[in-house]
Amino acid sequence: MLDIKLLRTEPDIVRENIKKKFQDDKLPLVDEVIALDKEYRDAKQKAEALRNNRNVVSKQIGVLMGQGKKEEALAIKNQVTDMAAELEALSAKETELEEKIRKIMLVIPNIIDPSVPIGKDDSENVENERFGDPVVPPFEIPYHVDIMEKLNGIELDPARNTSGNGFYYLKGDIARLHSACLSYARDFMIDRGFTYYIPPYMIRSSVVDGVMSFSEMENMMYKIEGEDLYLIGTSEHSMIGKFIDTIISEDDLPQKLTSYSPCFRKEVGAHGIEERGVYRIHQFEKQEMIVVCKPEESMKWYDVLWKNTVDYFRSLDVPVRTLECCSGDLADLKVKSCDVEAWSPRQQKYFEVGSCSNLGDAQARRLKIRIKGEKGTYLAHTLNNTCVAPPRMLIALLENNLNEDGSVRIPEPLRMYMGGKSVIEVPKK
């Protein structure tokens, strides 16, 4: 959410930013907010003047009563009563206008960083850098579910019976490999100085409003029937929510957190749910990174975060690249974002396995996350990034480590979590 002062003083900056994000339908909102804000400030100013006048007049009542001028005192008392009623009406108007302004401000996009490439959608995202050499083996790579089924590691039909499409049962060594990826990610992030958390898996609507846009919420989150609770779509939501309405000392910054959680998503939209596969699903697990820092340090931490994900995948010999998200592909709260994509030998292209985002002070403004320093109190900046999100990680691991006979090599860092096993063998019939 933007600072209202920016719309008051430099509305053209806000309009230009809306155009860069190809959201021209939101342009009228700028003038609407400016008009509502003027009405709000006029009402507030009138209320303050009326309040001061009431205080002055009220003092006269006692004086007049002391002088025996009861009728004059009663007239002024009635006048004060009328003022109180008018103040109550003005206060209600202020509250109503404030809520209208906030509701509109929540959908006006954040100001993007100047370095963000301008483009309409994800088809215009820009490749930044590649890490590792993509390899295509001299044999055919089957679809990831076929690889898992050959290794007796997945059951889709029973999951459809219990839960529907978008769910799965992992079992045996594939389930163990899934857990190994997460355990290694946890230790990988702890070794890099991040504090490990397991957060709540449900959050209140006040936190949802603070961490994401309404359109994202509608397309992603599951509401708990009859309660003010939502299942989290990522642990970033509850981890940022941890700081709601807090003031953090500069001495305690940056806050570097890494969190594990299951994630639950509707996945409503153009992509939809796969009937056979584990790339886009309703339920998965993830190891996340979160940073709360000073504004002047957020871009530095942005680079640290995406590099952590690249280093994690490269430590497992999976080739990756980073893809800069263009203006039209950025969610409204984001200042800058990039995807980390892993190489798929089967498709001979890269696919998304993580996303790193700098949200500036947008979440902090909504949730009142502030920093206290020598020069006073100011808003924090927040960032998040995916370290790893199985089962997408499984797809990358299986395809890049598949042997011609259908067995799968286990990368060295994962073996200690697999009981020392170096290969997942195809079960003998």
Please give the mean pLDDT across all residues of the chain.
Answer: 93
355 counts as catalytic: yes
Of the two residues 288 and 46, the one the predictor is more confident about is: 288
The stretch 14-29 carries a mean pLDDT of 97
Q: Which tens digit of pLDDT belongs to each residue from 160-204?
A: 999 998 899 999 999 999 999 999 999 999 999 999 999 999 999
Q: Which tens digit of pLDDT belongs to each residue from 299-347?
A: 999 999 999 999 999 999 999 999 999 999 999 999 999 999 999 999 9
Distance of CA 70 to the CA centre of its chain: 64
Look at residue 271 in the predicted model and tell me its pLDDT.
61
Is the model's pLDDT at 270 over the cut of 60?
A: no
> What are residue 277's phi and psi, to 5 degrees?
155, 170
> What are residue 242's phi and psi, to 5 degrees?
-55, -30
Is the model's pLDDT at 269 over the cut of 70?
A: no
Look at residue 289 in the predicted model and tell me its pLDDT.
98
357 counts as catalytic: no
Look at residue 273 in the predicted model and tell me its pLDDT.
62
283 in Cβ contact with 261 (< 8 Å): no
The catalytic residue among 235, 365, 392, 399 is: 392
Look at residue 275 in the predicted model and tell me its pLDDT.
64
Distance of CA 169 to the CA centre of its chain: 28
**Least confident window among 44-48, 52-56, 87-91, 234-238:** 52-56
Give 406's contacts (C-beta < 8 A, 6+ positions apart).
147, 150, 151, 426
* CA separation for the pair 249, 380 (Å, rounded): 11
The stretch 53-81 carries a mean pLDDT of 75
Look at residue 274 in the predicted model and tell me its pLDDT.
65
This prediction's pTM:
0.90
The stretch 286-309 carries a mean pLDDT of 98
Range list of β-strands (E), 311-380: 320-324, 336-344, 349-358, 369-373, 376-379
| All structural domains of the chain | 4-105 (1.10.287.40), 122-424 (3.30.930.10)
**Axis crossing angle, helix 27-66 with helix 70-105, rounded to the nearest 10:** 160
Q: How many alpha carbons fall within 13 Å on the CB side of residue 64? A: 14
352 counts as catalytic: yes
The catalytic residue among 352, 407, 409, 415 is: 352
Q: Which tens digit of pLDDT belongs to each residue from 211-245?
A: 987 667 777 899 999 999 999 999 999 999 999 99
* CA separation for the pair 42, 27 (Å, rounded): 24
pLDDT band at 268 (very low <50, low <70, confident <90, very high): low
Of the two residues 366 and 59, the one the predictor is more confident about is: 366
Is the model's pLDDT at 55 over the cut of 60?
A: yes
Look at residue 140 in the predicted model and tell me its pLDDT.
96
**Least confident window among 151-160, 271-280, 361-370:** 271-280
246-249 and 369-373 beta bridge pairing = parallel
Give percent above pLDDT 90 in the chain: 81
The catalytic residue among 265, 321, 365, 366 is: 265
Look at residue 389 in the predicted model and tell me its pLDDT.
94
The catalytic residue among 41, 130, 280, 415 is: 280
Look at residue 391 in the predicted model and tell me its pLDDT.
87
* CA separation for the pair 233, 214 (Å, rounded): 14
* CA separation for the pair 275, 273 (Å, rounded): 6
- How are strands ordered across the β-sheet holding 369-373? 246-249, 369-373, 376-379
DSSP secondary structure code for residue 163 in this structure: T
The catalytic residue among 259, 261, 337, 355 is: 355
Residue type, 12: D
